Every structure is written in C-alpha cells, then in structure tokens.
Amino acid sequence: MSKRMIALIAALLFVGQSFAQSSEQISRLEVFSDNQVMSFESTKNLSLKFWLQQLMLSALYRNEVQDSSLNEWQAQLSTSNRVYCRFSFVASLGIPERETLRFEEVLLPLSSDGYPEYIFIRQGRSIQRLAKYDPWVLRKLVSEAELPLYKNLPEVERGLF
C-alpha cells in the first residue's frame, strides 16, 4: 500500500474520531419519510450519524464544494424525504489537501426517483453544497434508516469509502 494511501486512511480515522466525538453533541438528527419524522433507538441513531459523516467525507474527498443560496436551502428543506441534522455548535470536517468545512446544519434531500444531487451544509447565512459523494455510502445510509426509497436506487459497487 502506498504511503499516500496510508496517510489518507490515518487522516480519515482521525477526522472520523473527531466527528464521532462531536456527533454526540448533535442537538437534533431527523429522518423524514413522506414528511413523517422517523424515530430510532440510540444505537441506530449512532449508526445513522456515522453513515452521514462518511457520506460527507466521500464528497469532501472528491472536493466538489459549491456555494448555494438560502432559497435553494429552503426548497430542499421542504422535500418529503430527507435527513436533517443540527449541531449545538459549529462542527468541522476536513481531510488533508482539502478545505475544512464548518457547519451547524446538514441537509440531505432524498428523492424517490434517483440519487440526490447534493448534500447541503449551513453555517449562519453561508450555505454550501457537496457533490460527487460515494453512492454506495448513500445506499448504506438510507438502507440503515430503513427508508423504502433505497430499494429504488440502482445498485452500485463499493467505491473508495
């Protein structure tokens, strides 16, 4: 295994530990299915937090971070199937040679007809969207949440994450 790959794995483990510690301080994690909030036991909740973090890391790895608008955020916040997470503090997520993301909210709008285009993050009035995430990780997240729409998503092979 190359030194670069070992360094990347070590960095991801470090970031994952930091995020896992901070994920305990999430003030709210909600999964909506047809506009109904789903409830989960604590171990399932931790699993969902983990897969959401992995999904964000996979998008950050591909380094497709774009500015977004409050109007786009509001439109996506009203989707009937979504994962929404609000932190009680400004969270950070970063990997080497990529920008560090800072956010208070994460929004993953889900559609029944395919993969969502973006993961949205928000800190105050600053809104960004992450693209090119690993679709295998998304399938893992929505299947862990037991959302019926994951059965409609095309099968994909496991990627980098």
Tens-place pLDDT, residues 18-50? 444 444 555 688 889 888 898 888 888 889 989
> Rounded to 10 degrees, what is the CA torsion of 86, 91, 94, 100?
100
Q: Is the pLDDT of residue 111 over 90?
A: no
The Cα–Cα gap between 34 and 32 comes to 6
pLDDT tens digits for range 123-154: 999 999 998 888 888 888 888 888 877 666 66
pTM of the model: 0.77
The span from the first CA to the last CA of the chain, in angstroms, equals 16
- Compute the mean pLDDT over every residue in the chain, rounded to the nearest whole number: 80
